[in-house]
Structure 1
């Protein structure tokens, strides 16, 4: 794996380094900025996360004006190193809230400790933040209060086969909460037609279970998965029935061999909250219809006043309800003196963002509401320029509903030693993604 790990600023200057093998000269990283510049100039269309030069592989990722770069001499698995660097960013972000140049300079001691625990002689080891925080802590005063004979020892999970969970966890009430959360991104034109859409889904679990429980999760359709000859998760064949998922990712606790052979998800969960599985569905896999449909028309009266007529309709089943619906409408930067007449909900003007936000706390399925807004225009501007603003953004969440139709058939919990009674809970949420937008023209 990696021989060296380097943290560099945006100019390529080294901030912190760790040499694991000693087989690469320490000054080799100084060539990285020039190599990066040459790589960008020569191949702008095809981005590659590695550079090969004079027998050295430079494998890197960018984050918050930083570069994390791994050096190796051998022909290593590039994606394995990329995944480790990504996990390293995740761990450091959970320790320091934000990974940037300043946090690296302020916490270089603990970063060195983490680098030594997360990688041994260039090979990844413990990468679970919850386990690392048990013996690598930022509260150093606790060590001073300890007696000199006592030393903090790494938890047994570090050397166990199950490295993401400790032994001896106990709860008075054993419960597991499972959430199926689907975020839908959609681009809708002014006529209400969907131009592009996708679903980003995740199955999240909060585990409050004692001992070493073994869980088995059953979904409503086995055909949602297809396993190819290389044991990778891929979309199901076009002629198969059911949901066809793409870009499926599992938590490390999932037994992949069991899943590959029987398409059953079995695992020993980490304690607390974690994402068991994530997936993506393209627009061809589900009914393409806006869940929240917005129709907005703008009129400009003699360059002195702008009038916005907006209607919003919940195109979901009558028994369903959308919560915390927000329709974010862009307006001219110089608009002032707003007057709002909503049929339902509240409307607020945000002049610093040049937006009007219409909020509907609860929105029953099948209902439609209207809103009228009037704003003054002190400056004389081109009407076409005023109307060619950024699209309307819509935010919402719908409980007890999934767009894809995925359902949990069962969540079985078995602890062979303790044999306790457990309570699994399942809920479904569909929410707007970061890019649920409606064009106004």
Structure 2
């Protein structure tokens, strides 16, 4: 599948290279650098580049390119998914996947890549298994390794790696069993001047934090699951039961993970309203005022206090006014752009 992996920054420096099967000279990256120079931004670099004898597949994250090299045709989506898994794993181990963190922990990165790929094919990519194979770096463990000459690699093979549930480690015990589910949705909509919705789309995902002992088997149901389109599941979800009953049945991993991502293309009622006021003065100045707020109260309303909200203003000015957040930004020539946001905090009774 993969022959080599290069981690390159935006200036063209190769921070790390890892080879499987045989060594490919780093001059292969010149094809990638030529395409990168022609791109307007790093995000515009095509993810798949074909060369006379190799295929280059890359992902961009935090000023870094993870560049995979293959000598034969390989499913690009599989490689892209693996590279994203590498990014998430490095972020979990190093707190961030950046130029500095990779240079400081290059030995740990090599150890992780050795476990994640075997002869160029994905082997152990679940975080729970990797954390048992290679212990996350800590200050005390680093000192102990320097004194004893040991590494972070475990001498015992994790039991979960040989089971049919590789995403969950065995022997998990907690004093208090608890599980939290956060539903996050992003709305992309076009609203006309009367306030009616012309078109809308919703992208959502469910993030989980499970701290349950043993091998729990959970079931989650929705009021109207038919609304969910283009659903992407974590491997722990039993897909056949979802297809037949529209119910999520799964054995969750230990800790934080994303249970599913979904897209809603059906026109649904948007829970916020948008009002605008445009005042133009001549041809060079004007004022745009937007008011955004919830259509109805949901959950328990908590008394407002400025400490509940944090605002960031990169240009113009920001101030509080009667439970409204006002941000004035001079984005237009000789004009003022004002946005009002109601600052009401809601706390849901259930998670």
TM-score by length of 2: 0.77
Q: Conserved in 2, the CA contact under 8 Å of 1:348 and 1:358?
A: no
Whether 1:19 aligns to 2:19 is: yes
Unaligned segments of structure 2, at least 5 residues: none
RMSD (Å) for aligned C-alpha atoms: 4.4
Match of 2:295 in 1: 315
Matches within 5 A, 1:325-336: none
Are the structure 2 counterparts of residues 285 and 351 from structure 1 closer, same or farther at C-alpha, using a change threshold of 3 Å? closer
**CA distance in structure 2 between the partners assigned to 1:395 and 1:159 by the alignment:** 53
Which structure carries more strand by proportion?
Answer: 1
Contact 1:298/1:387 (CA < 8 Å) preserved in 2? no
The alpha carbon displacement at 1:188 in A equals: 4.7
- The separation in 1 between residues aligned to 2:20 and 2:248, in whole angstroms, is 36
1:128-162 Cα deviation digits (max 9, x unpaired): 334423433323224457798x9643432233322
Q: Deviations over 1:154-211 (max 9, x none)?
A: 4322333222212111234433333333333445566545465432222233322221
From the superposition, tell whether residues 320 and 259 of structure 1 become closer, same or farther in structure 2 (CA, over 3 Å): closer
Q: Deviation string for 1:58-95 (max 9, x for gaps)? A: 11112222211111112111100001111111111222
Alignment of 1:5-404 (within 5 A): 5-22=5-22, 25-37=24-36, 48-134=46-132, 135-139=134-138, 140-143=142-145, 152-186=155-189, 188=191, 192-194=195-197, 197-222=200-225, 224=226, 243=227, 245-282=228-265, 284-287=266-269, 289=270, 291-295=272-276, 314-316=294-296, 320=299, 353-358=315-320, 385-387=333-335, 389=337, 392=339, 394=341
**Per chain length, whose mean CA-contact separation is higher, i.e. which structure has more relative contact order (CA < 8 Å, sep 6+)?**
1
Q: Is contact 2:188-2:201 (8 Å) kept?
A: yes
- Contact 1:324 / 1:359 at 8 angstroms: preserved in 2? no
Cα offset, 1:105, TM superposition: 1.7
**Aligned CA distance change for structure 1 residues 20 and 186 (closer, same or farther; 3 Å):** same
Structure 1 unaligned spans of 5+:
225-242, 301-305, 327-343, 362-368, 376-380, 402-424, 428-441
CA distance in 2, matches of 1:118, 1:64: 21
> Comparing both structures, which one devotes a greater share of its residues to helix?
2
Residue matched to 1:404: none
Q: Distance in 2 between matches of 1:20 and 1:158?
A: 22
Q: Is the 8 A contact 1:218 1:265 kept in 2?
A: yes
Shift of 1:216: 2.0
Separation of aligned partners in 2, 1:346 and 1:102? 34
Cα distance, 1:348–1:30 mapped onto 2, change above 3 Å: closer
Larger radius of gyration: 1
Per-residue CA shift, 1:221-271, capped at 9, x if unaligned? Answer: 35x2xxxxxxxxxxxxxxxxxx2x233221121123443455432211012
SS in 1 for 2:183: strand
Instruction: Summarize the Cα distance change of 1:349–1:105 in structure 2 as closer, same or farther, 3 Å threshold.
Output: closer
C-alpha distance in structure 1 between counterparts of 2:15 and 2:303, whole Å = 44
Distance 1:66 1:147, change over 3 A: closer
User: Do the aligned residues in 2 keep the contact of 1:118 with 1:127 (CA within 8 Å)?
Assistant: yes
| Deviates further, 269-278 or 249-258 | 249-258
